[in-house]
Amino acid sequence: MRLATHQLDGRTVATADSGSGPRCTGAASVDDLLRQADWRDTARRAAEQGEPVPESAGIVAPIRTPAKVLCCGLNFRAHIEEMGRGVPAVPTFFAKWADTLTGPAADLDLEPGDTAQLDWEAELAVVVGADLRRASVAECADAIAGYTVSNDLSLRDRQWATTQWLSGKAWDATTPVGPVVVTADAFDPAEHTVTCRVDGETVQHAPLDDLLFPPAELLHHASMFTRLRPGDLVLTGTPAGVGAGRDPQRFLADGQVLETEVSGIGLLRNTIRIRS
């Protein structure tokens, strides 16, 4: 099943689609839906009997107000090598806020002084569907609501200005997410790929079975230090091919079109806008 959040008549509505088109669930967003104890049954009923969403409805980020957005910084071996880091024994986590998230077709707006080193990082994101605290890998696997597409755009000069990555990673409205959440029963990451393109040129492409720490294992490690709740997002890490890892380094510029795709889920298409 595919879950999404649509913009309709000045409000947002969560939808469910089992093959006959998106239908309203009664929730305001996908994360709002996931906070319902019976969200799976609600989504199934909506997909069969809910009010159809008109084709004119716009699609926005499926997850709107997560309590937590966690990211794994080093999870593809080739990316670790290109960044000159050692292979970690445990996941390297950092955090974002909900304000960082933006939609699958949104322009990515920055001011000229914000950064001179805007970089791409295509990623698979895991959507949490149940409370997790000190949970086993098996419990975490059962708690995955689904998967979506994300791009952890990074302001490298901000990121590397100190030993803490926060300001370069948590910039407002620089992490596009969507276009849908595919439920875990309909998506096996090991069978799919993640791809990033800049103005049509492929700059990243990798199979998701190359993740050092698979999704359930990431949730397990995260749940050891913080409670994960329905609607939370965990970005799983980016493959090799980022701009900072190239020789010479390469970064995004005004007007460029960034496409992020995970096979079996969908495509983000965002234009870089650096306002003069």
Domain spans of the chain, in order of start: 2-60, 69-274
The arithmetic mean of pLDDT across residues 180-201, rounded, is: 98
Percent of the chain exceeding pLDDT 90 equals 89
- Residue pair 227/134 in contact (Cβ under 8 Å)? The answer is no
At residue 263, does pLDDT exceed 90?
A: yes
Question: What does the pLDDT read at residue 258?
Answer: 98
Question: What does the pLDDT read at residue 240?
Answer: 92
Give the per-residue SS3 of the chain: CEEEEEEECCEEEEEEECCCCCEECCCCCHHHHHCCCCHHHHHHHHHHHCCECCCCCEEECCCCCCCCEEEECCCEHHHHHHCCCCCCCCCCEEEECHHHEECCCCCEEECCCCCCCEECCEEEEEEECCCECCCCHHHHHHCEEEEEEEECCEEHHHHCCCCCCHHHHCCCCCEEEEEEEEEHHHCCHHHCEEEEEECCEEEEEEEHHHECCCHHHHHHHHHCCCCECCCCEEECCCCCCCHHHCCCCCCCCCCCEEEEEECCCEEEEEEEEECC
At residue 212, does pLDDT exceed 80?
A: yes
Question: What does the pLDDT read at residue 266?
Answer: 98
Report d(CA 251, CA 267) in Å as an integer. 21
Q: Name, in order, each residue with C-beta under 8 angstroms of 45's C-beta and a sequence gap of 6 or more.
A: none
At residue 184, does pLDDT exceed 90?
A: yes
pLDDT band at 36 (very low <50, low <70, confident <90, very high): very high
At residue 80, does pLDDT exceed 80?
A: no
Q: What is this structure's pTM?
A: 0.96
- Residue pair 268/149 in contact (Cβ under 8 Å)? The answer is yes
The arithmetic mean of pLDDT across residues 223-235, rounded, is: 98
**Measured on CA atoms in the order 151, 56, 128, 172, is the torsion positive or negative?**
positive
Question: What does the pLDDT read at residue 88?
Answer: 83
Q: What is the pLDDT of residues 146-177, one digit of tens each?
A: 999 999 999 999 999 998 889 999 999 999 99
Report d(CA 214, CA 19) in Å as an integer. 28
Tokens 């292979």 sit on residue:
87
Question: What does the pLDDT read at residue 74?
Answer: 83
pLDDT band at 17 (very low <50, low <70, confident <90, very high): very high
At residue 45, does pLDDT exceed 90?
A: yes
Question: What does the pLDDT read at residue 95?
Answer: 96
Question: What does the pLDDT read at residue 82?
Answer: 76
- Please tell me the CATH code under which domain 69-274 is placed: 3.90.850.10
At residue 271, does pLDDT exceed 80?
A: yes
At residue 89, does pLDDT exceed 90?
A: no
Question: What does the pLDDT read at residue 86?
Answer: 79
Question: What does the pLDDT read at residue 79?
Answer: 79
Question: What does the pLDDT read at residue 211?
Answer: 93
Angle in degrees, CA 234, 237, 239, rounded to 5: 155
At residue 276, does pLDDT exceed 80?
A: no
- Residue pair 210/190 in contact (Cβ under 8 Å)? The answer is no
- pLDDT mean across residues, the chain: 95
At residue 232, does pLDDT exceed 90?
A: yes
Q: Name, in order, each residue with C-beta under 8 angstroms of 101's C-beta and a sequence gap of 6 or more.
A: 61, 63, 64, 66, 69, 173, 175, 176, 177, 233
At residue 15, does pLDDT exceed 90?
A: yes
At residue 83, does pLDDT exceed 90?
A: no
- Residue pair 73/94 in contact (Cβ under 8 Å)? The answer is yes
- Interior/surface letters 234-249, b for 16+ CB within 10 angstroms, e for the rest: bbbbbbbbbbbbeeee
